[in-house]
Amino acid sequence: MFHIMKHGHYISRFGSKPGLKCIGMHENGIIFNNNPALWKEIRPFFTKENAIVLKIQNYFDAWQALLLKPDIFFKFSWLYKKYEKSARDLKEAIEILIEQKRQKLSIVEKLDDNMDFASQLIFAQSRGELTGENVNQCVLEMLIAAPDTLSVTVFFMLVLIAEHPQVEKAMMKEIQNVLSDREIQSDDMPKLKVVENFILESMRYQPVVDLVMRKALQDDVIDGYPVKKGTNIILNIGRMHRLEFFPKPNEFSLENFEKSVPYRYFQPFGFGPRGCVGKFIAMVMMKAILVTLLRRCSIRTVKGKGLNNIPTNNDLSLHPNENQPLLEMIFIPRCNMEKS
Give the binding site for ligand HEM (CB under 6 A).
Answer: 5, 30-31, 43, 46, 51, 141-142, 145-146, 149-150, 153, 208-209, 212, 268-271, 274-278, 281-282
Residue closer to ligand HEM (CB basis): 24 or 268: 268
| Cα gap 286→90, rounded to integer Å | 27
Q: Judged by CB, which is closer to ligand HEM: 47, or 176?
A: 47
From residue 40, give the alpha-carbon distance in Å to each of 101, 172, 331.
Answer: 24, 42, 44
Question: Is the Cβ of residue 69 or residue 215 nearer to ligand HEM in the bound state?
Answer: 215
Q: If you ran DSSP here, which 8-state letter would residue 242 be given?
A: T
Using an 8 Å Cβ cutoff, are 257 and 263 in contact?
no
CA 38, 3, 146, 279 torsion-angle sign: negative
In whole angstroms, the minimum distance from the beta carbon of 41 to ligand HEM comes to 12
Residue number, 74 or 269, with CB nearest to ligand HEM: 269
- DSSP secondary structure string for all residues of 128-193: TSS-HHHHHHHHHHHHHHTHHHHHHHHHHHHHHHHH-HHHHHHHHHHHHHHHTTSPP-GGGGGG-H
CB of 289 to ligand HEM, least distance (A): 11
Pick between residue 66 and residue 237 the one whose CB is nearest to ligand HEM: 237
Tell me the β-bridge partners of 329.
Answer: 301
Output 279 or 334, the one with its CB closest to ligand HEM: 279
Minimum CB separation of residue 195 from ligand HEM in Å reads 14
Reported as type and span, the H/E element at residue 236 is strand 232-236
Rounded Cα gap, residues 177 and 154, in angstroms:
23
**CB 334 to ligand HEM: min, Å:** 25
CB of 305 to ligand HEM, least distance (A): 23
Q: How far is the CB of 51 from ligand HEM (least distance, A)?
A: 5
Compute the Cα dihedral for 134, 138, 140, 144 and give only its sign: positive
**Residue 199 beta carbon to ligand HEM: minimum distance, rounded to whole angstroms:** 8
Q: Name which of 130 and 298 has its Cβ closer to ligand HEM.
A: 130
CA dist., res. 92 & res. 289, Å (int): 31
